[in-house]
Amino acid sequence: MIAMQYKIPLPADYDMPIIRRRVRTNGHRTDGFRDLALKAYLISEKGSHGNVSNHYAPFYLWNDHNGMNEFLLNGPYDAILHSFGWQQVNIGVPLSVRIVPNFPQVRWAVEIAGRIPQAASLKGFGGKLIEQLPKTQDAIGEAVIYNPDKWGFSQFAFYEQLPEKWSDEAQRLTQLDAYPSFEATIYEVLHVSQ
């Protein structure tokens, strides 16, 4: 399995309904795409849930590299190039994935991101990382991804309804106080392809 995401930064005054229309019109095109475990069409909006910027940030989990290659190199990704220009495509290795059958009902995603510190040994680090991340037992899906070429990680927790611990500003800040070196982004999920 391979994780993939591109985070397209959008201007502070960007008309986000443009992205919503884009996904409503085109999101179905990746439904049933070869080797795609899931694609979550994510947006973050400046000023919403503590987000500091606007982003269009689709997140993918691929069962195999062949489908990812077909998507990136044989035409479908050209729609991103034509609309938004050259983008950095981040690739990651899934450390842990939990997706339930009703996953297409998700409407929110919370990403917790951080750095993997230098160490003399990484033995057992994956389990330690999962232990220290916020608990997501109320999520209907979760993926913990690490990226060894940048030594970063992200935990994506997917929800039908955004829990109060993330939607309420005071509770969100309290959550993050426990993880001072982590960054949180709250996304709205516009569509899920599987």
Q: At which residue do the structure tokens 């085109």 appear?
A: 26
Q: Which CATH architecture has domain 2-193?
A: 2-Layer Sandwich (3.30)
- CA 29, CA 76: separation in Å to the nearest integer? 9
Asked if pLDDT for residue 182 goes beyond 80, the answer is: yes
pTM for the full predicted model: 0.94
Phi/psi of residue 102, nearest 5 degrees: -90, 25
Residue 12 has pLDDT above 80, yes or no: yes
Greater confidence, 135 or 146?
Answer: 146
* 146 pLDDT more than 90: yes
The Cα–Cα gap between 134 and 65 comes to 30
pLDDT (0 to 100) of residue 173 = 79
pLDDT of 126 strictly over 90: yes
154 within 8 A of 113, measured Cβ to Cβ: yes
* Residue 73 reports pLDDT greater than 90: yes
Tell me, what's the pLDDT at 176?
Answer: 78
